[in-house]
Structure 1
Amino acid sequence: MSAASGTDAAPVGDGWLDTPSRYGRVSRAFHWLMAALFAWQFAGALLYVVTGDNAVTRIVGGSHFTLGFTLFVLVLLRGVWGLANMTRRPPHPGRLGRAAVAGHLLIYALMVVVPGLALLRQYGSGKPFTPYGIPVMPGRDEKIAWMVAPGDLLHHWLAFTLLAVLAGHVVMAFLHRKLRKEDVLARMT
């Protein structure tokens, strides 16, 4: 209860929208849901790289296409939400702030391009794609080689580039707290 108004008042930034001091509930939900889904995606991919094709990697990797599609949809929704909240979001001042903005833009670009290439490859393969039973891409007899090639060439490498950039993102959040005494992680938790 607020002493000045006599009413219950939510702490600043505890609402649905972002504020200059903290990300709102929707932004935080997008962030942590996507972090969990990416963790599952990368765990499965790394497991496959280390152990090869086996029963465990088929179980973990069985959700890879569907979760990749889910992440693609979520990043598009998150991008729209972020643009709608851009003027309310915590600021990133100075040279380090510009570097943080550049890092975030790189993350967003990779989060769109990596699954985008996989979807292009899927469509070009002619195989049907029905995540969650929803017919997104019908099957067909012919393969479209120019659609398959970019995914075959780049999806894997750009995905691991995204993993490296995300690891750097996590490290920077902790370095901000340790070296600069700025608890930027609290804005998103």
Structure 2
Amino acid sequence: MSRWLDSPLRYGLVSRLLHWSMAALLLWQFASMAVKNIVGRHPLTAFMVGSHKPVGTVLMLLVLVRGAWGLSQWARRPPHPRTLIGRGATAGHAVLYALMAYVPAVALLREAGSGRGFAPFGIPLFPATGQKIEWMLAPANLSHGVLAWTLCALIAGHVLMVALHQMWWRDGTLARMAGPLQR
């Protein structure tokens, strides 16, 4: 059972599965939008962008599950050091979580207000009404793309910090999320 739960030394299997599955889906989301911006109209673009909304819906669900799991494991998790860098890591993770929740949530709000209906994977979430609701469209139209790319930049910073921990400080930070589950 201890392999599944977090500990002060490392993240457990559940946290790792949530982390790495979200990483893979976020990579897909950013890659699909990058291909759209670089290639334009193309069959590859149509395939990748066609999955954007359903994958975003899965990401929203995973954010909720990950947040609930993280709260349930809060006292067990590896602590950040009580230094300026540790406080920066805490703040950085808080912003990452906030954006991982906000970006898909505001996109779902836009879908609800679009009037077109929304049924990712054939599961109806919002019925087609034919009526646009502007107050639901506006937040996503203003912020979804900009904050998604901001999230992408923060994720890149997160990866760079992990590389810094691994190669410069050699403090075992990467092993907490990717190393052996038990010693």
Q: TM-score normalised to the size of structure 1?
A: 0.91
Instruction: State the partner residue of 2:43.
Output: 55
Equivalent residues in 2 for 1:1-189, closer than 5 Å: 15-93=3-81, 94-189=83-178
Unaligned runs of 5+ in 2: 179-183
Counterpart residue type for residue 147 of structure 2? L
Counterpart residue type for residue 108 of structure 2? L
Instruction: Give the Cα–Cα distance (whole angstroms) in 1 for the partners of residues 123 and 164 of structure 2.
Output: 43
Q: Deviations over 1:112-154 (max 9, x none)?
A: 1101111111111111111121111111021101111111111
Counterpart residue type for residue 42 of structure 2? N
CA RMSD of aligned residues (A): 1.1
Q: Matched residues, percent identical?
A: 51
Deviation at 1:54, TM superposition (A): 2.2
Q: Which has the larger radius of gyration?
A: 1
Highest relative contact order (Cα 8 Å, sep 6+), 1 or 2? Answer: 2
Counterpart residue type for residue 109 of structure 1? A
Deviation at 1:33, TM superposition (A): 0.5
Counterpart residue type for residue 45 of structure 1? M
Q: TM-score normalised to the size of structure 2?
A: 0.94
Deviation at 1:160, TM superposition (A): 0.3
Unaligned runs of 5+ in 1: 1-9
Alignment length (residue pairs): 177
Instruction: Give the Cα–Cα distance (whole angstroms) in 1 for the partners of residues 42 and 62 of structure 2.
Output: 30
